[in-house]
Structure 1
Amino acid sequence: MRLKTAALLVLLGLLTMLAGIGQLTFWAPAETVTASVPSDTKAAPLTVIDQKLIALHDGPVKIKIQGEGNFIVATGRPDDVEAWVGKTAHNTLTGVSADQKSLEVSSADGEATAPSPAGSDLWVSTEDASGDLDYTWNPPADGEWSLLVAGDGTQPAPSAISMTFPNNATTPWAVPLIVLGIIIILVGAALPFVAKALANRRKDDDDDHPGDGGETTTLPIQSENPLLPGAKSSGTTSPVGDEGRRRGAGSEGPALRVTALAATLAAVMVGGTAIAAHATTATPEATPTSSSADAAEGGTPVMLESQLQRILEQVASTVDAADAAKDAAKLAPRVDKMELQIRTQNYKIRSTVSAYEPRMPVRATKLQSSVISTKRDWPRTVFALTQGEGNVVPQVLTLVQLSPRENYKLWGSAPLQPGTNFPSFPVPRKGTEPVPASDSTGLAYSGNQALEILSEMLTNPESPNRSKLADGQSSPYIAGALAYQADTVKNGTSANFKFTHTPVTNQTVVLRTADGGAVVVGRLDFAFEGTPKAAGDKLLLEDDSAVFAGGKETTTGMVLNFAESVAVYIPPAGSADPMNLVAATRGLVGASFK
């Protein structure tokens, strides 16, 4: 009987261990699950793959897209994708069905067409395809991301989309079953030897205490149920002797109890694997990342540094082509506002006056500093400090994006003042806090106040606010402008001159620096007026001004107009340091006779 019990335990152990091994091999769940868009999904010009779906499973996601003709898959922040889609009709892939075979789709009605999303600055990366695309998604950086699938914006976006995710199903009972099986096998193998040793020990005890040579003590047998009050014992006795011990020694009860216990435990654990497998294959829910909270608070930078580098290269290429051709129309895709006006007028002058100095070239490299705003609504602004071929000193470039479907354009460029260091800003991956131009919270002055003080100093060398802004050798531009104006008055004895520098408030941008201060970048309009003192007195214009005025002489007076691009560092509140003009330049944009 002991051998049968041992064999049963070994068999049970083998089955238990096999169940554990099976969960790791032939019963193991599939490594991936694939879900597809239902075939009856309504056609739309745009398809969005929501960030919650992308983040549903850990690990890379494989996406298979089948469509007709050319299409694009663009990667962007969820709010950027949403802003670009706007009011256009679109489908959004939001999740996976309970059986993990279908992708859940929500449809939104709207405009029937959209521009092509190709070439948008909002996208961190794009994949171009024709017909079929097998695409492996990996996040380009921390945070949340969505995908936009579209053709040319006029035709339906591909809707035959399937996504393959890593399977989150696990086999938590596999190892415990294997271990339990081994233990049961060992118990079964040891049982005959243990039972034999116990039997030998009882035999030795019997030899040491013979039953016919001593007194036998009898004990009363307890009834099966406890005695009720007043009940009497039957007085029947049962001897405890050799025969009773032999019956106990020959019983298989303990072995059977071990077998039953092992079988029950194995059955519970094997049965539990089914429950565990069901629980671990349920569709997981995407958990929000820390960046989602940042995005809600406007704390996520509006672009990655790699995006900025790509944008700068396109801006530099556009400006180079326009400069070479002296064709302002070529600037339109990437240049606007003050920079567009200055370069357009520069081309006009150079077409007539060959010796006139061209505007400083715009270079994408070397990128010395990236200042990326965290203001996620529009317009958006970034600064870049670059120095490349043709740049004697680094120059500050101001790039602005007015709306989601427009690209960044160069609004201004200004060379760094000699001997001046560009302020330190938070690292690009954290972004820089924007400050309203009228807000002085945490600053010695607001952005508007800083430009007012600068314009006042440039207009009046005896300004009472002169101590608030470093000048002289600390600011060569201010010193040079004041010297130019003084020399003009000194040499123009037959005319009266007036100089005014006025901030253009709708082109002012302020971004906070790492030390709690800020840099304000903006435009000043510099007007230079001259009026003859007496009848017959004449004013002579230079060749560059004559291009706009239509002549070189006037007896009635003239006005020259310049656009000044400036960047001023504002110290934090409580600092005893004056403001500092970081970068500045000007360009002639007009001239006229009175």
Structure 2
Amino acid sequence: MRFVLAIVAFVVAAVMIVAGIAQRTIFAPPSQVTAAATVPADTRYVVIDSAVLNAHPGQQTLSISGSKNAKSQMVAYGRTADVKAWLSDQKYATISYRAGDSAVTVKTVTPKSGSTGATGSTGAATATPAPTATPTPAPTGAATTQAATPGPDPAGSDLWLDEFDGQDAQVTKMNVPSGVSVIVAGDGTTPAPNKIVLTWPVDTSTPWAFPLIIGGLVLLVIGIALYLWGLYTHRRARGPRRKSGPKMPKLPKAPKYKPTASIEATPRGRRSTRRTRVMAPALLAGVLALTGTGAGAAFADTPTPTPTPTATSSAPNGNANSPVPAVTAPQLERIIKRISVAAANADAKNDPNLAKLRFIGPALQLRDANYAIRVKKADQPALPAIPAGPLELSLPQATDSWPRTVTAVVKMPNDATGKAQAPLALALVQQTPRDNYMVEYAIALEPNVKVPNLAPASIGAAVVPPDSKLLKVQPDQVAAAYGDILLNGDKSKWYSSFDLTDDKLVAQVGASWKAQEQARLAQQFGQTSTLTFAGRAGAGPVISMATNDSGAIVWVNPEEVQLHRVTEAGAQVIAGATTAALSGVAQSNTGIESVYGYQLAFYVPPAGSNEKVRLLGFAQGLVSAREVQ
């Protein structure tokens, strides 16, 4: 019987070991799933939707090839709506994939006739092209002739969440969530890479392989033990025997002894004792082995808990219909770095054309004037550089249309003496999907400024209309109201609406300073000339971003005109060095007009609040000068 059990143990052990090894070798599943597509050779843009990228679980690997110019190829991903808005008037290919039968389909999307959404400056930029849903067969011959008109270059667009260019685009690993699409392209003139390969990893774990191999080895040991035990017993049973002698006479029967319950029975004979000693360890080993195997199998069969991604909504408050923030925090960091590089190049060369790549409105106007002055006046200090980071605050607009506005506060490095500088606040505007974010306002925050409670960057804020009456002062009236205070001081009707306790700008150029300047000129030159001040609206737009307390951060661009006019025949007006450098006129027999531009950011509380409007930061400087007749 022992030999039979040993043979059974050997057979079962062999089966278990072979099955465990086979799971790790010949029966091992493939390590990845691959889907390949070939698009027409003249295709400039290829879009891969998140539904395709997430057809299988795990990190996606995108491989591209077939580009005529590998240096110009790029891979980027962004929100699906943004990608379609960028491609609104362009023809592109889409790739569809069915995980069930691994079917790959390439379709061509043709824009509607006359679609110009991406190049316009209004909300029409969100118009999306109408798909033709016409399968495009893979090319079998030479590339077809391209359209004569080159397309836009997607490389370097601020719209993308991330971007890979040149050789970095050959193989790209990503984890694209739902609602995000990938765009593959060249430079807009050359075709996109026409061979697209998507790869997903496959779980190749074999949880039963190790328990089977271990269990087989345990049974093998048990089989060997049973075999040795049976062999030992068999040899003992066939050993030499003594011949029996004459029978002894029977002894008289003694009375039967009845043991009491308190006396234990002793083993019967030495053979019984020895057999018991042998059987006990063998049975114990068998029980332990089988118990270990069963426990391992039960443990392996128990599913290991794996983290399950929580379904989250990218829209505020979990509402899929709510607009999402215009940019993400990493996206904004990349935009600020690009702006920093462009600003440094323009500042180093005093080149207004380079500044136009990233500045518009009041920020560009002040930089242009500074460049013009520094060309003729070498000791004129440059405007503060735009640091590459880090970001101290970001407030993107929650919107799915254009134009889009983003507010950012960037930490400034210490100055040359090691003294800390006030952070730099930027107001960025993107007019259309294909435009980059441009710096509209760039100001230094006031020391110890108290920034109101703002929405988190993951939710974004709404833009308040300029004529909103829900604020203590309408946004489109803030510039004129503050300008009136600069001119008239406490006599202004708006004086009580503003908190001027820590206002540094009023102290520098307010009504008191203006009166001192007029008195100084009268004392120095008598009544030969007059100095007057007047306020007016600048060309910069009014930007209002809502705060959590129903107030708003309001950016405005007032201007102040200083007119120094001759009032006595034969007298002359002497221009200052800065004014002379910008106007080209050192002295005039009639007069000189100097215009100072102000970039201001205010916190405006909600209507009915006991708080006052307060200045958060400012930038100001001479923006134009000319001789007047």
TM over 0.5: yes
Mapped partners of 1:42, 1:578: distance in 2: 63
Instruction: Please report how far the alpha carbon of residue 149 of structure 1 lies from its aligned counterpart in structure 2 after TM superposition.
Output: 0.3
Alignment of 1:191-202 (within 5 A): none
Paired AA for residue 508 in structure 1 = V
Paired AA for residue 83 in structure 2 = V
Residue number in structure 1 paired with 2:377: 353
Paired AA for residue 122 in structure 1 = L
Residue number in structure 2 paired with 1:107: 108
Instruction: Please report how far the alpha carbon of residue 469 of structure 1 lies from its aligned counterpart in structure 2 after TM superposition.
Output: 0.9
> Could you say if the C-alpha distance between residues 99 and 402 of structure 1 is closer, same or farther in structure 2, counting changes exceeding 3 Å?
same
> Which digits, 9 at most, give the CA deviation of each residue in 1:90-110, with x for residues without a partner?
00124426512x223321235
> Could you say if the C-alpha distance between residues 109 and 170 of structure 1 is closer, same or farther in structure 2, counting changes exceeding 3 Å?
farther
Mapped partners of 1:431, 1:352: distance in 2: 44
> Could you say if the C-alpha distance between residues 296 and 559 of structure 1 is closer, same or farther in structure 2, counting changes exceeding 3 Å?
farther
Mapped partners of 2:617, 2:78: distance in 1: 33
CA contact (8 A) 2:445 2:616 kept: yes
Which stretch of the first structure deviates more once superposed, 130-139 or 453-462? 130-139
Paired AA for residue 449 in structure 1 = Q
> Could you say if the C-alpha distance between residues 440 and 105 of structure 1 is closer, same or farther in structure 2, counting changes exceeding 3 Å?
farther
Mapped partners of 2:516, 2:169: distance in 1: 70
Residue number in structure 1 paired with 2:173: 136
> Could you say if the C-alpha distance between residues 430 and 135 of structure 1 is closer, same or farther in structure 2, counting changes exceeding 3 Å?
same
CA contact (8 A) 1:46 1:148 kept: yes
Mapped partners of 2:488, 2:355: distance in 1: 36
Mapped partners of 2:530, 2:39: distance in 1: 80
Instruction: Please report how far the alpha carbon of residue 581 of structure 1 lies from its aligned counterpart in structure 2 after TM superposition.
Output: 0.7
Residue number in structure 1 paired with 2:284: none
> Which digits, 9 at most, give the CA deviation of each residue in 1:370-395, with x for residues without a partner?
22222332222222223124473222
The secondary structure found in structure 1 opposite 2:499 is coil
2:455 is equivalent to residue 426 of structure 1: yes
Q: Residue 370 of structure 1: which of 375, 394, 398 is its match? A: 394
Paired AA for residue 430 in structure 1 = I
Residue number in structure 2 paired with 1:290: 313
Residue number in structure 1 paired with 2:346: 322
Residue number in structure 1 paired with 2:355: 331
Residue number in structure 2 paired with 1:500: 534
> Which digits, 9 at most, give the CA deviation of each residue in 1:245-276, with x for residues without a partner?
xxxxxxxxxxxxxxxxxxxxxxxxxxxxxxxx
Residue number in structure 2 paired with 1:306: 330
Instruction: Please report how far the alpha carbon of residue 40 of structure 1 lies from its aligned counterpart in structure 2 after TM superposition.
Output: 6.8
The secondary structure found in structure 2 opposite 1:320 is helix
2:68 is equivalent to residue 63 of structure 1: no
Residue number in structure 2 paired with 1:529: 563
> Which digits, 9 at most, give the CA deviation of each residue in 1:48-84, with x for residues without a partner?
1112222333321222322223121111111221122
Q: Residue 485 of structure 2: which of 454, 457, 476 is its match? A: 457
> Which digits, 9 at most, give the CA deviation of each residue in 1:468-501, with x for residues without a partner?
1112x42111232113322222223323433222
> Could you say if the C-alpha distance between residues 169 and 437 of structure 1 is closer, same or farther in structure 2, counting changes exceeding 3 Å?
farther
Residue number in structure 1 paired with 2:602: 568
Paired AA for residue 448 in structure 1 = D
Residue number in structure 2 paired with 1:78: 80
Instruction: Please report how far the alpha carbon of residue 506 of structure 1 lies from its aligned counterpart in structure 2 after TM superposition.
Output: 4.9
Mapped partners of 2:463, 2:58: distance in 1: 35
Alignment of 1:236-247 (within 5 A): none
2:365 is equivalent to residue 341 of structure 1: yes
Residue number in structure 1 paired with 2:187: 152
Residue number in structure 1 paired with 2:12: none
Paired AA for residue 518 in structure 2 = V
The secondary structure found in structure 2 opposite 1:455 is helix
> Which digits, 9 at most, give the CA deviation of each residue in 1:213-257, with x for residues without a partner?
xxxxxxxxxxxxxxxxxxxxxxxxxxxxxxxxxxxxxxxxxxxxx
CA contact (8 A) 2:45 2:192 kept: yes
Instruction: Please report how far the alpha carbon of residue 47 of structure 1 lies from its aligned counterpart in structure 2 after TM superposition.
Output: 0.2
> Which digits, 9 at most, give the CA deviation of each residue in 1:374-431, with x for residues without a partner?
2332222222223124473222122222222222222221111233233342222222
2:160 is equivalent to residue 123 of structure 1: yes
Paired AA for residue 438 in structure 2 = K
Mapped partners of 2:349, 2:506: distance in 1: 33
Mapped partners of 1:304, 1:393: distance in 2: 25
Q: Residue 164 of structure 1: which of 199, 223, 229 is its match? A: 199
CA contact (8 A) 2:39 2:194 kept: no
Q: Residue 92 of structure 2: which of 65, 90, 93 is its match? A: 90
Alignment of 1:356-435 (within 5 A): 356-385=380-409, 386-390=411-415, 392-435=421-464
Residue number in structure 2 paired with 1:552: 586
> Which digits, 9 at most, give the CA deviation of each residue in 1:13-37, with x for residues without a partner?
xx9xx99x99999878766533222
Mapped partners of 2:520, 2:39: distance in 1: 83
Instruction: Please report how far the alpha carbon of residue 579 of structure 1 lies from its aligned counterpart in structure 2 after TM superposition.
Output: 0.6
2:551 is equivalent to residue 486 of structure 1: no
Residue number in structure 1 paired with 2:294: none
2:591 is equivalent to residue 590 of structure 1: no
> Could you say if the C-alpha distance between residues 87 and 446 of structure 1 is closer, same or farther in structure 2, counting changes exceeding 3 Å?
same
The secondary structure found in structure 2 opposite 1:291 is coil
TM-score computed with the length of structure 1 as normaliser: 0.70
The secondary structure found in structure 1 opposite 2:454 is coil
Instruction: Please report how far the alpha carbon of residue 560 of structure 1 lies from its aligned counterpart in structure 2 after TM superposition.
Output: 0.8
Mapped partners of 1:78, 1:427: distance in 2: 23
Percentage of pairs with the same residue: 28
The secondary structure found in structure 1 opposite 2:557 is strand
Residue number in structure 2 paired with 1:438: 467
> Which digits, 9 at most, give the CA deviation of each residue in 1:186-232, with x for residues without a partner?
xxxxxxxxxxxxxxxxxxxxxxxxxxxxxxxxxxxxxxxxxxxxxxx
CA contact (8 A) 1:364 1:388 kept: no
Paired AA for residue 89 in structure 2 = K
Residue number in structure 2 paired with 1:54: 53
Q: Report the aligned-residue RMSD.
A: 4.0
CA contact (8 A) 2:97 2:104 kept: yes
CA contact (8 A) 1:144 1:289 kept: no
Paired AA for residue 590 in structure 1 = S
CA contact (8 A) 1:367 1:387 kept: no
CA contact (8 A) 2:440 2:540 kept: no
* Equivalences, count: 474
Paired AA for residue 395 in structure 1 = L
Paired AA for residue 49 in structure 1 = I
> Could you say if the C-alpha distance between residues 316 and 134 of structure 1 is closer, same or farther in structure 2, counting changes exceeding 3 Å?
closer
Mapped partners of 2:169, 2:552: distance in 1: 49
Residue number in structure 2 paired with 1:250: none
Mapped partners of 2:87, 2:62: distance in 1: 21
CA contact (8 A) 2:361 2:539 kept: no
Paired AA for residue 347 in structure 1 = Y
Instruction: Please report how far the alpha carbon of residue 289 of structure 1 lies from its aligned counterpart in structure 2 after TM superposition.
Output: 6.0
> Which digits, 9 at most, give the CA deviation of each residue in 1:336-361, with x for residues without a partner?
22222212211221222233232222
Which runs of 5 or more residues in structure 2 are unaligned?
1-14, 112-146, 213-309
2:496 is equivalent to residue 467 of structure 1: yes
CA contact (8 A) 1:375 1:434 kept: no
Instruction: Please report how far the alpha carbon of residue 449 of structure 1 lies from its aligned counterpart in structure 2 after TM superposition.
Output: 2.6
> Could you say if the C-alpha distance between residues 588 and 296 of structure 1 is closer, same or farther in structure 2, counting changes exceeding 3 Å?
farther
CA contact (8 A) 1:439 1:446 kept: yes
Instruction: Please report how far the alpha carbon of residue 569 of structure 1 lies from its aligned counterpart in structure 2 after TM superposition.
Output: 0.5
Mapped partners of 1:131, 1:557: distance in 2: 60
Mapped partners of 1:550, 1:40: distance in 2: 60
The secondary structure found in structure 1 opposite 2:62 is strand
Paired AA for residue 53 in structure 1 = V
